[in-house]
């Protein structure tokens, strides 16, 4: 029993080590020429723009739901005026970044794992190497960088759509004007509530891209392996995002202490 | 036929195992520049693995692989890239990039390794596709092609940079006899222009037509080597049987 547990733990640590080295190598390759701007832009479009409808719809819905819950709580204390600010802080600090990362992990992580896995089993990755193209840089580093660039942009979109959703919910109940709602929403928002949490999603992008690319490029056992890489990309990147988020939140508290 | 004194390709006591199974066992061979060398053998005897060693996709467990005098397994990435730019590789399943058109597959090496204008790249890609009988398929996606057409497109991509060395893995597999003959004629033409060819094939008539030298692999070892006539007269019954099986 203990031996099995020990072996499983060692296996997990070995896997995390391999993925970490893969991610570090990607970060290094991003900084070294030749750069692949066309590929990066193409992937930012694929990852970012094509995820936008999902992210926008989710952000709007979350804004509506958060607004309804916040109202139910604050009404008891006669603090309805705090609803926009409470919603904005909750969205910017945590809900927006985390939800966006998990949505993108589901939509993009699976896609990257499946696409690269299929390329691996059909020898397209070998074919890239055979025409003297660095497959790691061309396929992995570009996708990982694109994830890192797209996540903060998508998070900002989630936040904005969440604010709009909150306004719609609030206006329906209380008839509050957009100007008043907007002013109240940003009355308590500080630099540390928006910028660090939004930028931390670049780390989530690094995780999504790295896990997807690693599992895709190390796929074996044919189409079954491709399916497994796709599923595992979503599961493992989601778990890692949630765990790493704890560390990042703590880091933000340390680096950007509250001014009030 | 051009024959340089130095071998374009030399495998020196190469051994390779996968999961404990020996695929290449102390294999040594050399291919003079400007000649066509055909590697024969039953399925699973290490022919494709040999080609992948030559282009550096697989590293030997033991031994060395020299291409134009350079040990490919020992080269750093940048220098290996320079060696690979002088080689073309046709994969057994063609391995076309399925997210871009057939024409862009052929144009891909040109876009990566030349600074030619787009118009010239497209012209060269179209010309290479025409060489393999796919002049009208530039815009099609790989999924829209038959297996034989994909193979030919893969050959066009392998020829895109006019390589010194062309490695082809079963170029006539899945082709009708007429197209297979056309591909053979194209390979002979390339050889006569000075390209070094290494062809893996099960197609004995094709090997006789294209190859200056034939060799047979069995269980990871070279069991025969020479001209087609030499192999026809081999002492080894397996070699003679393989050479006879050409119907």
Query: To probe the interface with B, which of A124, A127, A143, A223 has the most B CB atoms within 10 Å?
Result: A127
* Region class of B101: left (phi > 0), else alpha (psi between -120 and 50), else beta: beta
Residue B8 lies in a domain: yes
Residue B214 lies in a domain: yes
CA distance B72 to B93: 24
Q: What is the pLDDT of residues B162-174, one digit of tens each?
A: 999 999 999 988 7
Q: Using CB atoms, pick whichever of A122, A124, A126 lies closest to residue B57.
A: A126
Residue B244 lies in a domain: yes
Q: Give percent above pLDDT 70 in chain B.
A: 97
Q: Are B108 and A123 an interchain contact pair (Cβ–Cβ within 8 Å)?
A: no
B108: chain A residues, CB-CB within 8 Å: 131
- Residue A75's pLDDT is 82
Of the ranges A66-80, A188-202, B118-132, the best mean pLDDT one: B118-132
A209 has pLDDT over 70:
yes
Residue A184 lies in a domain: yes
Residue identified by tokens 């061979």 is B29
Residue A249 lies in a domain: yes
B161: chain A residues, CB-CB within 8 Å: 131
How much is the average pLDDT of A68-88?
Answer: 87
B91: chain A residues, CB-CB within 8 Å: 123, 126-127, 130
Tally of structural domains, chain A: 1
Q: What is the CATH number of the domain that holds B23?
A: 3.40.50.300
Give the CA diameter of chain B: 56
How much is the average pLDDT of B77-101?
Answer: 94
Q: What is the pLDDT of residues B232-243, one digit of tens each?
A: 999 999 999 999
A222 has pLDDT over 90:
no
Q: Dihedral through CA B153, CA B154, CA B156, CA B159, nearest 10?
A: 180
Residue B116 lies in a domain: no
How much is the average pLDDT of B97-107?
Answer: 96
How much is the average pLDDT of A44-70?
Answer: 93
CA distance B120 to B98: 23
- Residue A10's pLDDT is 92
- B106: Cβ contacts below 8 Å, ≥ 6 apart: B125, B128, B129, B153, B156, B157, B160
Mean pLDDT, all residues of chain A: 92
CA distance B189 to B194: 9
Size of interface A-B (CB pairs under 8 A): 49
Mean pLDDT, all residues of chain B: 92
> Which residue of chain B has the CA closest to A122?
B95
- Residue A188's pLDDT is 85
CA distance A55 to B48: 46
Query: Cα distance from B235 to chain A (closest Cα, Å)?
Result: 37
B6 has pLDDT over 90:
no
Q: Are A132 and B85 an interchain contact pair (Cβ–Cβ within 8 Å)?
A: yes
Confidence of residue A259 (pLDDT cuts 50, 70, 90): low
Q: Using CB atoms, pick whichever of A122, A127, A133 lies closest to residue B112.
A: A133
Residue B239 lies in a domain: yes
Q: Are A127 and B95 an interchain contact pair (Cβ–Cβ within 8 Å)?
A: yes
Q: Are A122 and B93 an interchain contact pair (Cβ–Cβ within 8 Å)?
A: yes
Residue A205 lies in a domain: yes
> In terms of C-beta distances under 8 Å and separation of at least 24 residues, what long-range contacts does A229-233 make, across chains too?
A229/A113, A229/A114, A229/A116, A229/A117, A230/A110, A230/A111, A230/A113, A230/A114, A230/A117, A231/A110, A231/A113, A232/A113, A233/A105, A233/A109, A233/A110, A233/A112, A233/A113, A233/A114
For residue B230, give its domain range.
Answer: 1-81+197-247
Interface confidence, given as ipTM, is: 0.91
Confidence of residue A260 (pLDDT cuts 50, 70, 90): low
Residue A2 lies in a domain: no
Query: Cα distance from B98 to chain A (closest Cα, Å)?
Result: 8
Query: To probe the interface with B, which of A120, A128, A131 has the most B CB atoms within 10 Å?
Result: A131
B1 has pLDDT over 60:
no
How much is the average pLDDT of A64-90?
Answer: 88
Q: Give percent above pLDDT 70 in chain A.
A: 99
- H/E stretch holding B15: strand B7-18
How much is the average pLDDT of A135-147?
Answer: 96
Tally of structural domains, chain B: 1
Q: What is the pLDDT of residues A185-198, one digit of tens each?
A: 998 888 889 999 99
Residue B145 lies in a domain: no
Q: Which of B2 and A153 is assigned the larger pLDDT?
A: A153
Asked which of A95-109, A223-237, B48-62 is least confident by mean pLDDT, the reply is A223-237
Query: Cα distance from A116 to chain B (closest Cα, Å)?
Result: 11
Query: To probe the interface with A, which of B97, B118, B157 has the most A CB atoms within 10 Å?
Result: B97
- Residue A73's pLDDT is 84
For residue A57, give its domain range.
Answer: 34-255
Residue A57 lies in a domain: yes
B18 has pLDDT over 50:
yes
B3 has pLDDT over 80:
no
Q: Using CB atoms, pick whichever of A126, A128, A134 lies closest to residue B77.
A: A134
Q: Using CB atoms, pick whichever of A122, A132, A133 lies closest to residue B95.
A: A122
Q: Using CB atoms, pick whichever of A118, A130, A134 lies closest to residue B55.
A: A130
């Amino acid at each position: 029993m203990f031996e099995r547990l020990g072996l499983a733990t060692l296996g997990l640590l070995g896997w995390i080590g391999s993925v970490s080295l893969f991610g570090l190598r990607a970060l290094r390759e991003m900084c070294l020429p030749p750069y692949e701007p066309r590929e990066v832009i193409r992937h930012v479009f694929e990852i970012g723009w094509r995820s936008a409808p999902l992210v926008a719809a989710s952000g709007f819905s979350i804004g509506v739901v958060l607004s309804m819950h916040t109202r139910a709580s604050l009404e008891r204390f006669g603090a309805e005026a705090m609803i926009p600010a409470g919603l904005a802080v909750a969205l910017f600090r945590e809900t927006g970044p985390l939800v966006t990362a998990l949505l993108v992990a589901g939509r993009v992580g699976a896609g990257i794992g499946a696409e690269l896995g299929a390329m691996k089993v059909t020898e397209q990755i070998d074919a890239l190497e055979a025409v003297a193209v660095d497959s790691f840089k061309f396929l992995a580093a570009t996708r990982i960088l694109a994830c890192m660039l797209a996540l903060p942009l998508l998070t900002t979109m989630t936040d904005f759509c969440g604010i709009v959703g909150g306004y719609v919910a609030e206006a329906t109940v209380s008839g509050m004007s957009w100007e008043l709602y907007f002013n109240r929403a940003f009355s308590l928002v500080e630099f540390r509530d928006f910028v660090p949490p939004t930028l931390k999603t670049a780390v989530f992008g690094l995780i999504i891209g790295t896990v997807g690319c690693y599992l895709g490029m190390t796929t074996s056992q044919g189409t079954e392996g491709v399916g497994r890489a796709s599923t595992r990309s979503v599961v493992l990147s989601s778990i890692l995002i949630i765990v790493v988020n704890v560390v990042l939140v703590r880091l933000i508290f340390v680096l950007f202490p509250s001014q009030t | 036929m051009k024959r340089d004194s130095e071998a374009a390709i030399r495998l020196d006591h190469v051994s390779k195992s996968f999961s404990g199974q020996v695929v290449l066992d102390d294999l040594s061979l050399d291919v003079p520049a400007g000649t066509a060398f055909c590697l024969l053998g039953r399925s699973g005897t290490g022919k494709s693995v040999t080609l992948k060693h030559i282009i550096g996709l697989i590293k030997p467990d033991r031994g060395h692989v020299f291409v134009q005098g350079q040990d490919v397994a020992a080269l750093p990435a940048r220098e290996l890239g320079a060696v690979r730019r002088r080689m073309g590789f046709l994969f057994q399943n063609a391995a076309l990039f399925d997210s871009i058109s057939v024409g862009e597959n052929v144009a891909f090496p040109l876009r990566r390794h030349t600074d030619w204008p787009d118009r010239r790249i497209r012209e060269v890609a179209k010309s290479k596709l025409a060489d393999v009988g796919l002049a009208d398929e530039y815009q099609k996606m790989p999924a829209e092609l038959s297996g034989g057409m994909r193979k030919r497109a893969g050959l066009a991509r392998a020829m895109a940079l006019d390589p010194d060395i062309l490695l082809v893995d079963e170029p006539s597999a899945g082709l009708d006899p007429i197209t297979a003959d056309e591909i053979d004629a194209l390979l002979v033409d390339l050889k006569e222009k000075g390209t070094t060819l290494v062809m893996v094939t099960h197609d004995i008539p094709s090997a006789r037509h294209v190859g200056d030298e034939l060799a047979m692999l069995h269980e990871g070892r070279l069991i025969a080597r020479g001209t087609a006539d030499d192999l026809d007269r081999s002492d080894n019954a397996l070699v003679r049987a393989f050479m006879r099986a050409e119907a």
